[in-house]
Amino acid sequence: MTRLPILTTALAIGLATTAHAQTTLTILMIEGLDKGAMEAVAAQYMQDRADVKVEIQSLPWNQFFQVSEMRLKSGDAAVDLIYTDAPVVAAYAANGYIQPFDAAVADEAKAKLVAPSVTAGTYDGKLYSLPMNSSAQVLYYNVDLLKAAGVTPPNGLTKGSVANPDAIATLASTDRWTFEQIAEAAKAVSGSEGGKAKPWGFAFEQFAELYQLQPLGGSLGSDLISADAMTADSYLNGEAWTKAATWWSDLFNSWNVSPRSLGFGEAAQMFTNGQLAMFVGGTWNVAAVAQSSINFGIAPHPKFADGKAATPTGSWYLSVTKASPDAAAATDFAHYAALSDQGTDIWFDKLNQLPTTNRLLDKINADNSFDAFPASVMRLSAWESRNTAVARPVTVAFSQLQDAFRTAFTDIANGVAVDEALATAVDSYDQAAKRLNRK
Amino acid sequence: MNRSPIKLLVLTLAPALLGLAVFRAYPIGLALYESLYTTIGGERAFIGLGNYLDLLTDAGFWKSLRVTLWFNLIINPLQVALALALALMFVQKLPGMAVFRLLFLIPIGISLPVAVIIWRIVLLPEGFLNGVLGGVGLGPYRFLTSPDFALYSIIAIATWKGVSYWMIFLVGGLQNIPPEIGEAARLEGASPWQRLWLITLPLLRPTLLFVLVADVTINFLLFAPVFMLTGGGPRGSTNVLMYEAYKSGFVFGDMGRAMAIVVCLVALLLVIVGIQFRLLSSAPPKETP
């Protein structure tokens, strides 16, 4: 009778294997530096939890949204965690692609993170996504080009400068250039040549994008859409946005100081080549610009003279998919990556993007290593994120809003009348909002 | 041997019918079915004709429909007329025709995306065409970003790419016309113009019908140049229905609306092609003895 012991042993081995079965979590995200940072976070996480394996699937930026939309829509159980751009959180939640975190995680997030980043991850009163980092935009200016055009450059952070927290607060609250000053300086640099023989005066890094241009209307005190997200009427086509869009139109059609349409990274490239005197862009350009031979400075994001400071914010989030068969494990990883000290430290060290945890923001403020340029730019960004940041609106029709906005501002740059372009954008958004909000 | 021709017919037609069912009927059926659904609160929901009723009051859809009709009203007659003119030149036995034939066959060998990229370089504000125009003191023109030019630039590119292709069919049709008929007419004293109107064109009618129907279908479904060059802008001037449907389905994830647009497009095409068939395939008047 040797069969019974063999059977028992096999059963025991089987049970043991089951007990130590590894849970595999798959994250779908964009390629590039973010993926490297996520790999570092995952490696540390796996060291502490031998029963979990984290795999990362990545896609190029230009395919990411379309492919992830299709995979989420089809209920693909092979994706446990999805890298989520802030503004699509609402649409993903409304479409049932992602699941909310429980109250404990939501309360912890509220306690540990800056408020706008929690708001952007919340839909219908529930926290659906945890922020990995935020973002901030600053004004890059070429000191030599401005001086050569007879313009006194703005006060800002420059090579060799040191800025303690008080100096940053003073700079950002009392020494901010206005969009009117930007226009005058740009005209002085470009003249009537419109960048042909002379350099261009000014550009925004992300041409006609909502993320980039929301502060134009925001500075004049207007939202893009109503608080209930049902309409853009009397917001996007209201007085404030009409004034903001007219200023944008003049950049191209009256003053001829800004290039029409710029591809990704082109503004920074033109700036480092000396072909562009000023641009508003993300802090992620600092390293590349600092390596160039350009004598440059970094000033706070501009505002309108009769308006308040408003700056872009928000970045990538991590969400647990509804189809995930290991939702508990996925939630645990998201919590580790976005809320734990260890996870957020690794992410910040690897990616050097503006954090969303109060702890890291406090550290940036207090730590002496952020006094010197260009690390001080992170301190300026941290100040902006706590004082002037305006999150993009939360709406299930965000993709449509973003598209309508981009179309309107591209058209305006190409000479279409401001009123007409904004009215068309309002129509497009209102139609979509009505359709997507039907119960 | 009592062989039924039915079996043979079914057997020989089966591959074609299968292809028709899988690649034509099934997608149309699927589009019809999906156009009756939407997503509400993450759940797929049947809403009957809701998506179509929404389109009735959807300004974006009507504007896109107007752009599609205007685009086709220009491009189809233009392409067929140019293809016919080229085909008539193609069959002439004139010196230097070999070079002419080669030149006009080149666009057929270039894929549409490659052609679009090349044309983009030509039409940019700092591109080749503006360089040439600048040489004579004109421009620069914003061929792709001005609401006044963009649609016509797309028409020019699609025509450059399409004309030679349709020309090939018309050349085939022209070569099928027995030369004796034209010769007899010539001996009877018919002028070249009369021979074209009274002999060549009536005899070319079946080929012309095919070219017209196929050309209209392709142009109603044109997508790549709009996708690659203008993204539907500026001011929605190039936002044809195919692009509107693509954006709705694949950019915004609103598949119900996208499918409703596609179904409307197919219905519109069926009506137009039906009219073309009626106008062009009526039997020629019988000769009285």
Contact list, A438 vs chain B (CB under 8 Å): 38, 40
- Which amino acid is it at A199? P
Distance from CA of B286 to the nearest CA of A (A): 56
A287-to-A155, A170, A373 alpha-carbon distances in Å: 20, 24, 11
A326 and chain B in contact, CB less than 8 A: no
pLDDT of res. A15: 46
Take residue A201 and report the two structure tokens written for it.
Answer: 């005066």
Contact B39 A95 (CB under 8 A): yes
Take residue A78 and report the two structure tokens written for it.
Answer: 């092979």
Contact A69 B253 (CB under 8 A): yes
Domain, as residue range, for A421: 137-313+392-436
- Which amino acid is it at B155? I
For residue A7, tell me if it sits in a domain: no
For residue A254, tell me if it sits in a domain: yes
Residues 154-213 of B with CB under 8 A from A: none
Round to whole Å and give the CA distance between A205 and A211.
Answer: 11
Tell me: do A53 and A101 sit in the same domain: yes
Distance from CA of B159 to the nearest CA of A (A): 25
Tell me: do A292 and A190 sit in the same domain: yes
For residue A358, tell me if it sits in a domain: no
Candidates B252, B254, B259: best to mutate against A (most CBs of A within 10 A) is B252
pLDDT of res. A6: 56
- Residue A394: what are its φ and ψ, rounded to 5°? -95, 115
Take residue B10 and report the two structure tokens written for it.
Answer: 């079914």
Tell me: do A397 and A278 sit in the same domain: yes
pLDDT of res. A416: 87
The residue of chain A nearest to residue B50, with distances taken between CA atoms, is A435
Angle at A421 between CA A416 and CA A424, to 5 degrees: 140
Tell me: do A258 and A321 sit in the same domain: no
- Domains of chain B, by residue range, sit at 50-280
A426 and chain B in contact, CB less than 8 A: no
A415 and chain B in contact, CB less than 8 A: yes
Angle at A61 between CA A60 and CA A63, to 5 degrees: 70
The residue of chain A nearest to residue B248, with distances taken between CA atoms, is A400
For residue A374, is the peptide bond before it cis, meaning its omega torsion is within 30 degrees of 0? Answer: yes
For residues A300 and A243, the answer to whether their CB atoms sit within 8 Å is: no
Contact list, B126 vs chain A (CB under 8 Å): none
Round to whole Å and give the CA distance between A216 and A237.
Answer: 13
Q: Give the 3-state secondary structure percentages of chain A, helix then strand then coil, rounded to 5.
A: 50, 15, 35
The residue of chain B nearest to residue A417, with distances taken between CA atoms, is B235
For residue A1, tell me if it sits in a domain: no
Torsion sign, CA atoms A106, A108, A111, A114? negative
Contact A428 B60 (CB under 8 A): yes
Residue carrying the six token digits 């944008």:
A248
Closest CA to A390 of A86, A85, A34, A84: A86
- Residue B140: what are its φ and ψ, rounded to 5°? -75, 145
Contact B254 A436 (CB under 8 A): yes
pLDDT of res. A16: 45
Candidates A196, A426, A436, A437: best to mutate against B (most CBs of B within 10 A) is A436
Tell me: do A215 and A182 sit in the same domain: yes
pLDDT of res. A308: 96
The residue of chain B nearest to residue A434, with distances taken between CA atoms, is B54
User: CATH number of the domain at B50-280, please?
Assistant: 1.10.3720.10
Contact B254 A432 (CB under 8 A): yes
Contact list, B251 vs chain A (CB under 8 Å): 66, 399, 403
For residues B44 and B37, the answer to whether their CB atoms sit within 8 Å is: yes
Of A97, A400, A424, which has the smallest distance from its Cβ to B236's Cβ? A424
* CATH code of the domain covering residue A398: 3.40.190.10
For residue A4, tell me if it sits in a domain: no
3-state secondary structure of A298: strand
Candidates A258, A414, A418, A428: best to mutate against B (most CBs of B within 10 A) is A414
A365 and chain B in contact, CB less than 8 A: no
pTM: 0.81
Take residue A409 and report the two structure tokens written for it.
Answer: 């501002």
Contact list, A399 vs chain B (CB under 8 Å): 251-253
B54 and chain A in contact, CB less than 8 A: yes
Contact list, A405 vs chain B (CB under 8 Å): none
The residue of chain A nearest to residue B41, with distances taken between CA atoms, is A94
Residues 6+ apart with CB under 8 A from B200: B88, B174, B177, B182
Contact list, B58 vs chain A (CB under 8 Å): 431
Residues 6+ apart with CB under 8 A from B41: A94, A96, A439
Residue A422 has a CB neighbour count (10 Å cut-off) of 26
pLDDT (tens place) for every residue of chain A, 439 residues total = 445 555 555 555 444 444 445 899 999 999 888 999 999 999 999 999 989 999 999 998 777 887 888 889 888 999 999 999 988 898 899 888 999 999 999 999 999 998 888 988 999 899 999 999 999 999 999 999 999 999 999 999 999 999 999 999 999 999 999 999 999 999 999 876 554 568 999 999 999 999 999 999 999 999 999 999 999 999 999 999 999 999 999 999 999 999 987 877 789 999 999 999 999 999 888 988 999 999 999 999 999 999 999 999 988 999 999 999 999 999 999 999 999 999 999 999 988 889 999 999 999 989 999 999 999 999 999 999 889 998 898 888 888 899 899 999 998 998 889 999 999 999 989 988 988 877 6
Contact list, A69 vs chain B (CB under 8 Å): 250, 253
Considering A302, A325, A352, which residue would you say is the last residue of a domain? A352
Tell me: do A97 and A225 sit in the same domain: no
User: In chain A, how many domains are there?
Assistant: 2
Tell me: do A309 and A320 sit in the same domain: no
Residues 6+ apart with CB under 8 A from A398: A87, A88, A90, A91, A392
Tell me: do A190 and A274 sit in the same domain: yes
pLDDT of res. B289: 44
Tell me: do A241 and A125 sit in the same domain: no
Q: How many CB pairs under 8 A join A and B?
A: 71
For residues A22 and A53, the answer to whether their CB atoms sit within 8 Å is: yes
Round to whole Å and give the CA distance between B25 and B217.
Answer: 16
pLDDT of res. B90: 86
pLDDT tens digits, B37-75 = 987 766 778 999 999 999 998 888 999 999 999 999 999
Tell me: do A193 and A87 sit in the same domain: no
Round to whole Å and give the CA distance between B101 and B89.
Answer: 9
A421 and chain B in contact, CB less than 8 A: yes
Round to whole Å and give the CA distance between A313 and A137.
Answer: 8
3-state secondary structure of A394: coil
Tell me: do A145 and A98 sit in the same domain: no
pLDDT of res. A1: 43
- Kindly state the helix (H) or strand (E) to which residue A320 belongs, with its residue range: strand A316-321
Closest CA to B55 of B235, B249, B258: B258
Considering A303, A336, A352, which residue would you say is the last residue of a domain? A352
Residue B8 has a CB neighbour count (10 Å cut-off) of 10
Contact list, A418 vs chain B (CB under 8 Å): none
Of B39, B59, B125, which has the smallest distance from its Cβ to A431's Cβ? B59
The residue of chain A nearest to residue B142, with distances taken between CA atoms, is A414
- Kindly state the helix (H) or strand (E) to which residue B255 belongs, with its residue range: helix B255-280
For residues A204 and A213, the answer to whether their CB atoms sit within 8 Å is: yes
Residue carrying the six token digits 């690659």:
B228
Contact B234 A428 (CB under 8 A): no
Tell me: do A145 and A247 sit in the same domain: yes
pLDDT of res. A18: 45
pLDDT (tens place) for every residue of chain B, 289 residues total = 456 788 898 899 999 999 999 998 999 999 999 999 987 766 778 999 999 999 998 888 999 999 999 999 999 999 999 999 999 988 887 788 788 888 888 888 888 889 999 998 899 877 889 889 988 888 788 888 888 889 999 999 999 999 999 999 999 999 999 888 888 888 888 888 888 888 899 999 989 999 999 999 999 999 999 999 888 878 888 999 999 999 888 888 788 999 999 999 999 999 999 998 888 776 555 544 4
For residue A371, tell me if it sits in a domain: no
- ipTM higher than threshold 0.90: no
Contact A420 B253 (CB under 8 A): no
For residue A338, tell me if it sits in a domain: yes
Distance from CA of A329 to the nearest CA of B (A): 23
For residues B218 and B162, the answer to whether their CB atoms sit within 8 Å is: yes
For residues A105 and A331, the answer to whether their CB atoms sit within 8 Å is: yes
For residues A204 and A138, the answer to whether their CB atoms sit within 8 Å is: no
Take residue A353 and report the two structure tokens written for it.
Answer: 């993007």
